[in-house]
Amino acid sequence: MTFRLMTTAALVCAAGPAFAQQTPANVQTAPEIFEMREIVSGLDNPWEIALAPDGWLWVTERSGLKINRINPEDGTLETVAELTNAAVPGGQDGLMGLALHPDFGNGTDQIFTAYTYDDPDYSNPLVTDPESPYLHLRTKIVRFDWNAESGQLENETDVITGLPASNDHNSGRIKIGPDGMLYYTIGDGGNNQLANWCRPILAQRLPTADEVGAEDWIAYQGKSLRMALDGTIPEDNPEIDGVRSHVYTYGHRNMQGIDFGPDGTLYASEHGPKTDDEVNILEAGGNYGWPNIAGYIDDKAYVEARWSEAPDCADLTFSDLEIAPSVPTTPESEWPVPENYHAPAATMFTVPSDWNFAETECAGIDYVCWPTVAPSNIEYYASDAIPGWQDSVLIATLKRGSVYRAAVSKDGRMVQQPFERLFDGENRIRDTEVSDDGLTIYVAVDSGGVIEGNEGGVVTEMTNPGAILAYTYTGENADVPADGGASDGAADGSDQAAAAPVELGELEGPAVSYTAEQAEAGKQVAMTYCAACHGADFASANYGPPVNGQVFQRNWHNKEAVELLTKSMTMPPSQAGTLSPEQYADVTAYILSMNGMQPGDEPLTMDSAGYVDARASE
């Protein structure tokens, strides 16, 4: 297999967009009209939708660890497998991607799926806490046979085991290409940020020949993989730095979406940091720049900050907004660009360096209002059923409650902005699938999380939690204004208004008591079990709602502390009750301490009387 090398001249052309850059605030609403129908609801974080030749949808439940068949006409649901060997300790692991064999329905009724599992014989060298539920976590891809008579998946067979897994950025999308090979994405593990700020990003690290020979896949983080359907390394895989492995491309952050165009072009969607979510075209042996580059090589609103290299890393508090003085940094323009670097086909979105990331209407949960969309999947739309849509990409998003559409150039090499926004709503859209006639877009919705509300600000409850929705095209909307119905929000972050301060009243009774020892113990438990979803500061992750700062004040001030403790006991959502009652009380005490409450003499228990007092955090 050969792969294209990007020339210096091409790099100059790819260094930035040659058009007026969009932001989430000025993306136009598409004129097409769709009728929405809820097919099923209440699934446990549906993650992948695959359309079978018989018209049924195959759906994985990430935290429910189930594979289902769903009839989109009447909502009939059949659970065909429960993955009892899978492990789901947090918010981004569990049962993920699924792909049907290319000959499914024509003699080879097999499916491929990926899930995380515990391997007691393995300890992740990047996990230093011996009590961490992620210490032994790995990922595998397996194959099942479909028995139509019994209505069950049978004969689970390992395709590849021992792949990296983490509490964050697992990626996990599977596609089988027109070449008959299996493609799989693995993220960077969420390293160098949030709860993992002292773990190095390995997206640029390539596997050695010895590692490949020993089937040690630690360097597969931040990569896309290409393998035969039996898990072996194809002979025509790219040889990178003298080593042939499963690695197809590298330099990725969190690539949750891949799909093939009709001509075999492989498109990908990828989460950026505070800016520059990416749409990429994957080519064998390509380096896509992360963490040296986010988006284009333009030195706009991103600098590589290597927290894990700081000599005092363990003593630092990670921040997305302020880089500690001891953290080494490198501007994008100082990266020695390799010949095999590939710039994005598009970004969502690139903003100036003076963009105000702190003062937003999402104050307290600022990341929801940052100029990114959190792309969870990409789908190539090849049909001519919807006028003007043929040869487009559809990008599902988690933060904005929408699917974005952009046209693809005739040669398939460019994604042509501007983007249009579809299905605006208060749902975290995890995946999409297109019906055979091209008129219906099937959508999977997360069970929970945080999202930007239709009227601005933040919403923590989905309109259709855990649902599979069908959006069917019915025509055009002649009433859409010339500006596409874009929101009134400013396209320039410097003009964004901060949310009004929270006004906290007097307590209805005495403040609850907790001890300093509880808070200290709770911090250790929280860093192990909670920080991956809520952030190390309990205010800056993008999955769990903040429980520190203005959001906590607004939701919990003047409520009985036992209510907060009871709520804590429902965490983590996929494994409620994992901790002991004492540990839940310790974590709750730590939350109270972060929000300014002073410790007392009596420990916090389910029998404690008293109220949450968040006034000290003002």
Q: Which residues are catalytic?
A: 169
430 SS3 class: strand
Give which of 425, 409, 429 is closest to 417, Cα–Cα: 409
Q: Are 360 and 366 in contact (CB under 8 A)?
A: yes
3-state SS assignment for residue 487: coil
Kindly report whether the peptide bond that precedes residue 418 is cis, defined as omega within 30 degrees of 0.
Answer: yes
The helix (H) or strand (E) run that includes residue 517 is helix 516-529
The two tokens of residue 436 are: 């055979």
Check residue 404 and give left, alpha or beta (phi > 0: left; psi -120 to 50: alpha): beta
Residues 467, 477: Cα–Cα separation, whole Å? 26
Percentages of the chain per state (helix, strand, coil), in multiples of 5: 15, 30, 55
Q: Do 143 and 229 meet the contact criterion of CB atoms below 8 Å apart?
A: yes
Q: Hey, what amino acid is at 450?
A: V
Q: Residue 356, SS3?
A: coil
Cβ distance 94 to 88 under 8 Å?
A: yes
How far is Cα 50 from Cα 263, in angstroms, rounded to an integer? 20
Handedness of CA 311, 315, 318, 322 (dihedral sign): negative
Longest dimension (CA), the chain: 72
